[in-house]
Amino acid sequence: MTIKDELRVELTDALKTSDRNRKDVIRAIETEVSRAKAEPSFEGDIDDTLYRTVIGSYVKKMTKALHEYTEMGDRGEEMAGKLGFEIDYLSRWLPNQLDEAATKDLVFQTITELSVEDPKQAGKVVGHIMKDHKDEVDGALVNKLVREALGA
């Protein structure tokens, strides 16, 4: 079953059971997919790859927003809960990413492999990692760890 089909079944169930959180997040993803396929640069099919890309982008935005709402304390508690649900719910369609320790190991392996010592070459290391491990790592974390490792 494709992600699109799974979401359709989930939406039907959410409507029947009046599950507002699930309904809202599924509709948000469908809206994002519609935007993506309406882009002039869009080529290809509306397949699981597109859905994973859209879901990954959405989860990344919601994770950033979650941190902002969490910092608001009691005022942002309700929205933080909603975003936490959305992130957890959508994560089943995303590939598993390396944790910080494993990412740090990958960064040090790549720095050693490329024999990089100059902080000005941080982009080279980040690019190499992202090229080979794009779905496995968080790009922002890789960038941070590479810059720390090279003293940039």
Is 60:101 a contact under the CB 8 Å cutoff?
no
Backbone angles phi, psi at 47, to 5 degrees: -130, -175
pLDDT of 57-79, one tens digit each?
999 899 899 989 999 988 989 99
- Domain covering 100-150 assigned CATH 3.30.40.10 in the classification: no
* Single-letter amino acid code for the residue at 47: D
* Single-letter amino acid code for the residue at 69: Y
3-93 topology per CATH: Hypothetical Protein Yqey; Chain: A; domain1 (1.10.1510)
Query: Looking at residue 137, what is its pLDDT?
Result: 85
Q: Which residues fall within 8 angstroms of residue 59, CB to CB, at 6 or more apart?
A: 86, 87, 90, 91, 94
pTM value > 0.85: no
> Domain coordinates of the chain in residue numbers?
3-93, 100-150
* Encoded tokens for 152: 């940039």
